């Protein structure tokens, strides 16, 4: 197969607007990622996300037979807006403030994949941004973008953890980068700050307890009455907000699509508790938060209001 150097690929990725790019070879890796995934699943920490047990997730060869390299990519999404402390105001996590990251990252991944294919037509490429059974953070760490931290997020030295991750799998052999080393040290701020003790031990997030899981993925009619919500209605940023790396390294994104939709910054809980389908459709155009259906928005807002009225009860 004709050669393409890693340096040329990385230059192209940066030209397309990616903030970070690195390359991982397929095997062997000593990070125990597959064991960690199986242990997490065995403990039932995936809650109702049964798709997390897809065996392809533990074997990238099943996603693309003959895969030789993974080009890992990241986009910074941080903007310097803050959440309100007013208990009447709902909190929406940063990842959902702007345009749907799947679309924004995918557009660039597609452009890079087409370019790669054009350079070396004999290769096969496939790309993902949380759109298939691939462990995005694991490949990002292996490609040197950052480290999987105790709060379960991948932290980069340039932007903290406020980055979305995607990757291109290719049958092309590319020179790889070294995996990133871990830099949490003795810090435990995220474990201590999590309002629901969802980080059961360093690096291990139990979705059954995580506010992000319940507000975004849980489809039940009501939320568990014992779940603390602290105003969150769509995701949760607490374990990232308290992280000293984020406080030091966050920098505003240059991607206009990630600027918040104005109505996502300080919505009122009592408005969201009666959000109708038409307003939902208008407010959430091209937003990742369409995953949260209108009745879930109402449920999440009401659960917050009920907890305020009667702590511990719904």
Residues in touch with ligand B12 (CB under 6 A): 33, 36-37, 40, 49, 52, 93, 95, 129-130, 134-138, 148, 151-154, 161, 163-165, 203-205, 207, 210, 212-213, 216-217, 235-237, 239
Q: Quote the least distance from Cβ 19 to ligand B12, whole Å.
A: 12
| Exposure on the CB side of residue 170, measured as CA atoms within 13 A | 32
> Residue 165 binds which entry of ligand B12, ligand SF4, none, with Cβ cut-offs from 5 to 8 Å by kind?
ligand B12
Nearest to 209 by CA among 236, 182, 171: 236
Window of 34-42, 56-64, 207-215, 217-225 that interacts with ligand SF4 by CB under 6 A: 207-215
Q: Should residue 227 be labelled a site residue for ligand SF4 when binding is judged by CB under 6 A?
A: no
CA quadruple 23, 27, 31, 34: dihedral sign: positive
Q: Is residue 139 classed as helix, strand or coil in its secondary structure?
A: helix
Of positions 140, 233, 238, 292, contacts ligand SF4 by CB under 6 A: 238
- Residue 206 annotated in active site: no
Which pair of tokens denotes residue 251? 């920098």
Asked, as a colleague might, if the bond just before 128 is cis with ω within 30 of 0, I would say no
- Tell me which DSSP letter residue 237 carries: -
Q: What stretches of 171-252 adopt beta strand conformation (E)? A: 199-201, 204-205, 232-234
238 binds, among ligand SF4, ligand B12, none (CB under 5 to 8 A by kind): ligand SF4
Residue 145 binding ligand SF4, by CB under 6 A = no
Active-site entry in 86, 118, 130, 136: 130
Tokens 């087409």, residue located: 114
**Rule CB under 6 A: is residue 239 a binding residue for ligand SF4?**
yes
Nearer to ligand SF4 by Cβ, of 244 and 312: the residue is 244
CB of 213 to ligand B12, least distance (A): 4
220 binds, among ligand SF4, ligand B12, none (CB under 5 to 8 A by kind): none
Angle between helices 101-119 and 6-15 (to 10 degrees): 140
Beta carbons within 10 angstroms of residue 158's beta carbon: 14
Contact assessment for residue 121 and residue 113, using Cβ atoms and an 8 Å cutoff: no
| DSSP reduced 3-state for 92 | strand
With binding defined as CB under 6 A, does residue 242 bind ligand SF4? yes
Backbone angles phi, psi at 58, to 5 degrees: -100, 0
245 binds, among ligand B12, ligand SF4, none (CB under 5 to 8 A by kind): ligand SF4
Active site residues: 130
The site for ligand SF4 (CB under 6 A) is made up of: 149-151, 184, 187-190, 194, 196, 198-199, 205, 210-212, 236, 238-239, 242-245
């Amino acid at each position: 197969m004709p050669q393409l150097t890693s340096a040329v690929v990385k230059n192209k990725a940066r030209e397309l607007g990616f903030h970070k790019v690195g390359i991982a070879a397929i095997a062997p890796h000593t990070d125990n990622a597959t064991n960690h995934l199986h242990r997490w699943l065995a403990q039932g920490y995936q809650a109702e996300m049964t798709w997390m047990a897809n065996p392809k997730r533990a074997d990238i060869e099943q996603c693309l037979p003959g895969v030789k390299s993974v080009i890992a990519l990241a986009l910074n999404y941080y903007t310097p807006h803050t959440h309100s402390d007013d208990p009447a105001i709902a909190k929406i996590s940063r990842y959902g403030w702007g345009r749907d990251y799947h679309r924004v990252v995918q557009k660039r991944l597609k452009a890079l994949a087409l370019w790669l294919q054009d350079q070396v037509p004999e290769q096969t490429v496939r790309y993902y941004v949380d759109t298939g059974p691939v462990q995005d953070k694991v490949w990002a760490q292996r490609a040197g973008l950052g480290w999987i931290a105790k709060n379960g997020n991948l932290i980069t030295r340039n932007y903290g953890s406020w980055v979305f991750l995607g990757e291109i799998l290719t049958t092309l052999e590319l020179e790889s980068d070294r995996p990133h080393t871990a830099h949490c040290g003795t810090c435990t701020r995220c474990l201590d700050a999590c309002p629901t003790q969802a980080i059961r031990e360093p690096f291990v997030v139990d979705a059954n307890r995580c506010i992000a899981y319940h507000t975004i993925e849980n489809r039940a009619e009501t939320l568990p009455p014992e779940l603390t919500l602290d105003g969150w209605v769509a995701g949760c940023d607490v374990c990232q907000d308290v992280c000293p790396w984020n406080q030091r390294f966050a920098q505003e994104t240059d991607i206009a699509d990630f600027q918040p939709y104005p109505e996502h910054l300080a919505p009122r809980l009592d408005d969201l508790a009666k959000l109708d389908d038409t307003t939902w459709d208008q407010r959430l155009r091209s937003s990742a938060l369409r995953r949260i259906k209108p009745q879930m928005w109402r449920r999440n807002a009401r659960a917050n209001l009920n907890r305020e009225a009667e702590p511990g009860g719904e």
